[in-house]
Amino acid sequence: MSLVIDRLSLRGEGVTAEGVTVALALPGEVVEGEIAEGRIARPRILTPVADRVRPPCPHFANCGGCALQHASDDFVACWKTDVVETALGGQGLKAVLDPIHSSPPASRRRATLAGRRTKKGVLIGFHGRASDQIVAIPDCRLLHPDLMAALPGCEALVALGASRSGEVALTLTRSEDGVDLAVAGVKQAAAAGLAALAERHDLARLTWNGEVIATRRPPRQRLGRAHVVPPPGAFLQATEDGQAALTDAVRRALDGAQRVADLFAGCGTFALPLAEAAEVHAVEGDGAMLAALDRGWRGAPGLKRVTHEARDLFRRPLRPDELARFDAAVIDPPRAGAEAQVDQIAASPLARLAYVSCNPVTFARDAKRLCSAGFRLERVQVVDQFRWSAHVELVATFTRSHIA
């Protein structure tokens, strides 16, 4: 029985009008294959569409690191833009969408790989698609070359610290000073031996089960004029290119603001660049990230005042009277959005807001609340920094001239 693909799911998989999910299929294609639990895992593409392309990576058929290498760049760009428009439309909203910004191949500076000891040695890579099997990625087209160059060091560390049956998580982050590697799920090991491996493989920093073993060079990240050394495993935008695009959009949204609140500030991704033109108050729940932000600010030349506050914005959002001290704000919540904080913003006298989101659905929900309080959704910049994945990021500009 042949089926026609109707659309893509939010995970980037084909979906038929009957509701069957089809891996690696595109809208308009005719497919067939064995249906198990409402899904065809390995379809036969009977009639491909023009947007189907040859995947650039030899691992794509099995690796779960990418979802959309079989689709043309133009198709992916249009689809991600449509995801945002559809999410907004579901809330009765429209906006001007600027042309999507896409990060180039081989630019991912941060990734978490899986590692395991096997009878033949060590296996490191991404999990397979819909599988807990690890797929080796010696010719990965996604990761920055500096991360690929660190894989031999990862193999040595897995060989040293992995149990026979356990799986190791390796979080690699490219910095200006080398690769910052955090290893979790490993056995205890002698610090001297681990430090020697860090030296041999020229790692900037090595963290072992949450403990910093060696810092040969502080792994700095540039945020505007500042250099910040994030704590191990701290949030960081996936690509430098994507970070620059998001930052530029936030700057445009808040241009001319004199005092800005940065909510869910992290290590200062937006606070520090904004401090080139405005005083900033950074609010973040993680004290270690705020400490990194503060050190970066103090070491940077020519920035305006940056204050900070450790606060759980889900449980204790900034109140309207606190927000009244600012003429603009930027908010960058996790995927769940920020309902509690958005309610307080809606009730505040704040007139300008840049909303950074990695989830168009929760963003649209929060946008509806803001618009009902008198904000106008001016424009949206869509950013595709997770190339070949289904992830969509955006920066939205909200303004209002009076309080509803």
Judgement on whether residues 247 and 391 belong to the same structural domain of the protein: yes
Can you list the residues of the chain whose pLDDT is less than 70? Answer: 402-404
The enclosing domain of 152 has a CATH number of 2.40.50.1070
Report yes or no on 71 lying in a domain.
no
Question: Helix, strand, or coil here: 288?
Answer: helix
Beta strand pairing status for 39-40 and 352-357?
unpaired
Cβ neighbours of 155 (radius 10 Å): 18
Q: Determine the structural domain holding residue 116 and report its residue range.
A: 110-215
* Identified catalytic residue from 63, 154, 358, 371: 358
Judgement on whether residues 88 and 114 belong to the same structural domain of the protein: no
Judgement on whether residues 290 and 253 belong to the same structural domain of the protein: yes
Q: What is the pTM of this model?
A: 0.95
Which residues are 22's β-sheet partners? 14, 40
**From CA 65, how far away is CA 292, in angstroms rounded?**
30
Does residue 13 have a known ligand-binding role? no
Does residue 332 have a known ligand-binding role? yes
Judgement on whether residues 99 and 119 belong to the same structural domain of the protein: no
| 48 touches 67 (CB < 8 A) | no
Is 358 catalytic? The answer is yes
Report DSSP state, residue 330: E
The enclosing domain of 359 has a CATH number of 3.40.50.150
Report yes or no on 64 lying in a domain.
no
- What pLDDT, on the 0 to 100 scale, is given for residue 322? 98
Judgement on whether residues 97 and 137 belong to the same structural domain of the protein: no
Q: Which of 13, 35, 52 is the last residue of a domain?
A: 52
Judgement on whether residues 274 and 383 belong to the same structural domain of the protein: yes
**From CA 242, how far away is CA 389, in angstroms rounded?**
14
Does residue 284 have a known ligand-binding role? yes
Domain count, the chain: 3
**From CA 36, how far away is CA 20, in angstroms rounded?**
10
Beta strand pairing status for 39-40 and 96-102?
unpaired
Which residues are 222's β-sheet partners? 227
Does residue 237 have a known ligand-binding role? yes
Report yes or no on 229 lying in a domain.
no
Report yes or no on 159 lying in a domain.
yes
Judgement on whether residues 373 and 260 belong to the same structural domain of the protein: yes
List, as one string, the DSSP characters of 273-315: HHTTTSEEEEEES-HHHHHHHHHHHHTSTT---EEEEE--TTT
- What pLDDT, on the 0 to 100 scale, is given for residue 163? 87
Report yes or no on 58 lying in a domain.
no
Report yes or no on 286 lying in a domain.
yes
**From CA 191, how far away is CA 167, in angstroms rounded?**
21
Report yes or no on 341 lying in a domain.
yes
Report how far Cα 403 is from the mean position of its chain's Cα atoms.
Answer: 33
Report yes or no on 349 lying in a domain.
yes
The enclosing domain of 29 has a CATH number of 2.40.50.140
- What pLDDT, on the 0 to 100 scale, is given for residue 402? 63
Judgement on whether residues 303 and 371 belong to the same structural domain of the protein: yes
Judgement on whether residues 290 and 394 belong to the same structural domain of the protein: yes
Judgement on whether residues 353 and 252 belong to the same structural domain of the protein: yes
Judgement on whether residues 299 and 366 belong to the same structural domain of the protein: yes
Judgement on whether residues 116 and 134 belong to the same structural domain of the protein: yes
